[in-house]
Amino acid sequence: MIAEHSFLSLFGLSAKQILGDSGSSSASSSNSISSTNNSTNNNAAKAVSANNVLTQTVATNSNPVVKIIRPPRLAAYAAADFTKLSAEKRARVAVTNAFKESFFKMTRQYQVFGIVGYGGNGVVLSAKERLPEGSSLSVAIKIIYRRTLADSSDSEDIGGTTDERVPAEISALQCLNRSCKSSSVLKYLDHWKDAKHYYLVTQLFGSNWLKEFPDFKLPRLEFQSVSHSKVVRTHTLAVSLGACDLWAWSVAHRTHVQRTSNTTLLPLTPIKHIVRETAKALNAIHKSGFYHGDVKVENILVEYPQAPGSNKTINGSNCPNVMLSDYGHTRAAEKGIKRYGTQEISPPEFIEGSPFLGTVHLDGRRSDVFALGMVAFVLLSDGGDIPDACRSAERGSLDYQSLCANGNECFPFNDKEIENMPDNALDLLCRMCAMDPAKRPTLDQVLSHQWLQ
């Protein structure tokens, strides 16, 4: 077990300082960094995998090999059969179409700067809303793919005030903005639809944690739009893989600790802070009668607390601010839950052979607790990856009965995965990741656990 240690000074550094001026990094098919010490090669090897995901390993004489693997969302996307396009390509096509179908919104009402991320359900743009008297407001515009609406479970009306039937993601966020007081729930600003897609405008949140990682830079998107008066405009947008989220934060910070302390373990103080703040936000959502339905590192946005151009911190501490995003699977808890948002990290109750499947009314809030446990696991683990058992279950090589083998009460982590975790962190993790949803703690109980004090 490792001793608790604080690397708070890490958060007093700029992203450039955190990441260093030299050195490279990489991306592939899940969200982890793993390291080995036995390489002497200092060439970066790059490859594009079958699902069009960038893979790269970097080795130097002085540094161990760093292998950063892309988050599960890309794999989840590749599994969907509604299109043969890769996630990145689909995002590019959707943005180009948006400028055609919603020309006025995208060029006059908003000024779009770039793509800040994409997933299986949509692509998110960074933009400024042009306000009267020359002022402006930074916003995120999520283009929600229409395919989502064809799926009836995703288009169900969850109780928004509008008469119009909107994607559940939009009405869920509207409901939460009315009923939930947490400042870590994304602020709804507007929505509209055109012939191709729905559009959700929210606050833009997070710092660019990958700014200094040249290998994460994707080719810019260049295209033309034509106005009603036939004026042709060329647009050039930067494309990012989700640089503001917890996955990116974890990549940046692991790279830093690996370079400075020769470990891939993240410092415990910010991990606890992030888990605690996310638990508080989720708790507020649960108390409003909803579950989130897709808690994972890619759906937690992280913002460096320093105000731009100032030496003071925003909240009096140097720990980052967090925001829960992606309400695409958020539903009223009373309606129950049939599956969790991302299959790779699915709680066991939804795994093939589970006695809970189909028969029992499941409370999605208990599944959120498991998913938050997985977030804690990913942050606490050595390589930043999800547990082996998740991958095996997702591949179908581990069914529910095998997960429960030996009378496991807790989701089976292997010894190597947990050897460096502090005892009290592991205690909370095992409670949150109980196989039986009813045995998992509520978020009030999570927040009062000794490890989070």
CB of 154 to ligand ATP, least distance (A): 11
By C-beta, is 74 or 403 nearer to ligand ATP? 74
Determine the Cα–Cα distance for residues 441 and 370; give it in Å rounded to an integer. 9
Q: Which residue has the tokens 């947490």?
A: 182
- Site for ligand ATP (CB under 6 A): how many residues? 27
Q: Is 335 annotated as a binding residue?
A: no
Q: Is 158 in the site for ligand ATP (CB under 6 A)?
A: no
Task: Give residue 69's Cα distance to chain centre.
Answer: 14
- 119 or 167: whose CB is closer to Mg ion? 119
Residues 28-67 that bind ligand ATP (CB under 6 A): none
Rule CB under 6 A: is residue 121 a binding residue for ligand ATP?
yes
Alpha carbon dihedral 307, 309, 310, 311, in 10-degree steps, equals 100
Residues 374 to 403 in contact with ligand ATP, rule: CB under 6 A: none
Single out the residue of 56, 102, 299, 321 in contact with ligand ATP (rule: CB under 6 A). Answer: 299
| Nearest distance, CB of residue 119 and Mg ion, angstroms | 4
- 54, 125, 172, 204: residue in contact with ligand ATP (rule CB under 6 A): 204
Q: Among residues 106 and 435, whose Cβ is nearest to ligand ATP?
A: 106
**Cβ at position 91, least distance to Mg ion in Å:** 12
Single out the segment in contact with ligand ATP by CB under 6 A; choices: 1-9, 321-329, 354-362, 406-414.
Answer: 321-329
Nearest to 199 by CA among 186, 189, 185: 189
| Dist CA 269 CA 247 (whole Å) | 17
Q: Bridge partners of 224?
A: 234
Query: How many angstroms separate the CA atoms of 218 and 431, rounded?
Result: 40
Residue 119 interacts with ligand ATP (CB under 6 A): yes or no? yes
Q: Which residues pair with 48 in a beta bridge?
A: 54
Using CA atoms, how far apart are residues 16 and 246, in angstroms rounded to an integer? 17
Nearer to Mg ion, 256 or 292 (CB): 292
- Residues 367-399 as b/e (b if ≥16 CB within 10 A, e otherwise) read bbbbbbbbbbbbbbbbbbbbbebbbebbeeebe
Where is the binding site for ATP, in residues? 142
**Binding residues vs ligand ATP (CB under 6 A):** 73, 76, 116-122, 124, 140, 142, 186, 202, 204-206, 242, 244-245, 294, 298-299, 301, 325-326, 328
